[in-house]
Structure 1
């Protein structure tokens, strides 16, 4: 093991020994994939003849938020008391020698969290038939959780909060302004506050052949309108390329049927749609916020930096869910090979490097190197972005500027400002076309597979 995993093993062992009163040996400490904001590790433990796997969640060392970790621990306890399937909390703390940050330690819950496997693998075929309905029932259980011990949770108005974060970037975006305006104009009556998970979706749910085994990652939990969780589950980003509107596996009707079974309440489709629009805008702003942690120097991270290029995915999804997306033709490729430099050209070099990394390097990594494989895939995605931007970025930029000028705007900032002050209408043909042209141009470079 490395110095880091040695330290974590010692820290986990000390925590477990303190909790159980028995000597605990710890080994096979591994970093798990995913989790851009927190680290997740697994470890094998032994106490006498008892062996088991535990899971450690911790803040990145040096960037701890103990209040939020304490709140997550409180949510796990309260949700467990309400019968929600959650990992058993073994210990939590602001710090421990060897762990070096606020942490949670839980039992391992068996199940699959990788969304694409749940959506596609044959072993989950039966579970998929009832999973949307089951997710509705589990959300109903979460929303019936007693909140008396959760007074520390945020209960600010979520739309005000998202708008304030967006304005703090000082990066006006026409799609965001159109979304904010629609949300203000169409907001449904607020339901009584409940415990809101805040990130309930495939990826944060453990599933086996029988259904949901555990609900993970409570760091965004707060008190608010419970329908927020249902709308978040319908956001296109969480379909992971599939067509079905609920997590890529089921219908909105099934989701609401399950929720009604658990709560006796059935939200309207209009209410669900409002929260789906909100969730799409929320993920857009959160993506930009995650990237800012790297760009602003708070935390050096390949994962966080890469999320910055995903903001345009949510811009596209926002225009789509609002019915404001226009089809825009691609600009012709404008790059030409340099007359100064020898071949291979820059794009050829990038292609060769990507091909080698994807084949010889990624293919040679053993399965236990899951973290390394995950990071390498991020690198490959970023290399693809660079290659596509070199190939066509300047041509698309010229088309976008011409589209904006034709609609009477000097640029995206001007259009965003006019949408904010009400002098431009999102439904206007020229505005729709200009917004769509800019978003689609960004998406063709960042992730063309996201285009419908």
Structure 2
């Protein structure tokens, strides 16, 4: 099973028990994941529990389920809708001390314009409220499901303190690229203002375009570029 997609992840046996070993070369991302997982241990958010940790390595419980991005379209849509309820619960969880700051959206916009990404109506929406505990990459690839129910949220190395609607909008916009209905589904399930969520879409499109431009794969960049060229200005 693949539990998460960043870093080197494998299932290992320890004392007859299957566990997940995750190794990350970036100490900051390692420390962030460890901090987030330990903070979540006493909450109702279904996340792996830390069994052991050392520099660059975290040993955690193997969570049940399969990745939502590998499920059929109906299961994926329902899973993303249900995940918005969990996301709100996360945002209502006390922020652990030492969690990194949110991504710099002004820098994202500057970088996007500097490298000549397709024209987008880029501006940073006003903050929606107090900063919250954010996962940082709430996507179908980081959600596990059992019988259509979200059984785990994995890959916490991008966790940060940030605008909760920004995070919801990022997750909903990404999901809408596979099923346009997901944006409104998730917004309604979370209980957010539709216009506020939609106001973030261009920023997240620019952020994803920069990621593909730097890390690839080229076919993903080409597909997104084609989508952005038809973006209403």
The answer to whether the superposition gives a TM-score over 0.5 is yes
- State the structure with bigger RCO (CA 8 A, min sep 6), 1 or 2: 2
**Corresponding residue of 1:43:** 12
* Match 1:93 to one of 32, 54, 62: 54
Distance across 1 between alignment mates of 2:105 and 2:206 = 9
CA distance in 2, matches of 1:83, 1:77: 13
Q: 1:191 to 1:315 in 2, by over 3 A?
A: farther
Match of 1:135 among 75, 83, 96: 83
Query: What SS does the aligned partner of 2:10 have?
Result: strand
Question: Is it true that 1:163 corresponds to 2:109 in the alignment?
Answer: yes
User: Is the 2:109–2:206 Cα contact (8 Å) retained in structure 1?
Assistant: no
In structure 2, the partner of 1:111 is 65
Report the secondary structure of 1:90's partner residue.
strand
Counterpart of 1:288? 213
1:259 counterpart residue number: 190
Number of equivalent positions: 233
Higher helix share: 1
Which residue in the other structure is 1:316 paired with?
226
| Equivalent residue for 2:197, pick from 266, 272, 275 | 272
Work out the CA distance in 1 between the residues paired with 2:200 and 2:218.
Answer: 23
User: In the alignment, does 2:131 pair up with 1:206?
Assistant: no
Q: Residues of 2 paired with 1:140 and 1:34: CA distance?
A: 21
Query: What is aligned with 1:56?
Result: 21
Kindly state the Cα deviation for residue 155 of structure 1 after the two structures are TM-superposed: 3.4
Residue of 178, 183, 202 corresponding to 2:122: 183
Which of the numbers 181, 185, 204 marks the counterpart of 1:245? Answer: 181
Q: Aligned in 2, Cα 1:129/1:41: closer, same or farther, shift over 3 Å?
A: closer
Aligned to 1:218: 156
* Structure having the higher Rg: 1
Cα root mean square deviation, aligned: 2.7
- Per-residue CA deviations over 1:155-191 (Å, capped at 9, x if unaligned) read 35x3123135446xx6323x1xx32xx222x724442
| Cα distance change of structure 1 residues 195 and 319 upon mapping to structure 2, 3 Å threshold | farther
Q: Which secondary structure does the structure 2 equivalent of 1:92 belong to?
A: strand
User: Structure 2 CA distance, aligned partners of 1:183 and 1:286?
Assistant: 17
Contact 2:68-2:145 within 8 A present in 1 as well: no
Q: Deviations over 1:250-281 (max 9, x none)?
A: x61x3233323xxxxxx221111122222221
Measure the CA separation in 1 of the matches of 2:210 and 2:77. Answer: 33
Deviation of the 1:194 alpha carbon = 0.7
Deviation, 1:217, is 0.8
Gaps of 5+ in 1: 1-29, 95-101, 261-266, 292-306, 324-426, 428-452
On the 8 A contact 2:127/2:163 being kept in 1, the answer is: no
The 2-side partners of 1:230 and 1:281 are apart by 16
Q: Is the 8 A contact 2:91 2:133 kept in 1?
A: yes
- The correspondence of residues 334-349 of structure 1 with structure 2, limited to 5 A, is none
Higher strand proportion (structure 1 or 2)? 2
Describe the superposition over 1:216-242 as per-residue Cα deviations: whole angstroms up to 9, x where unpaired.
Answer: 111222111111221122235x457x4
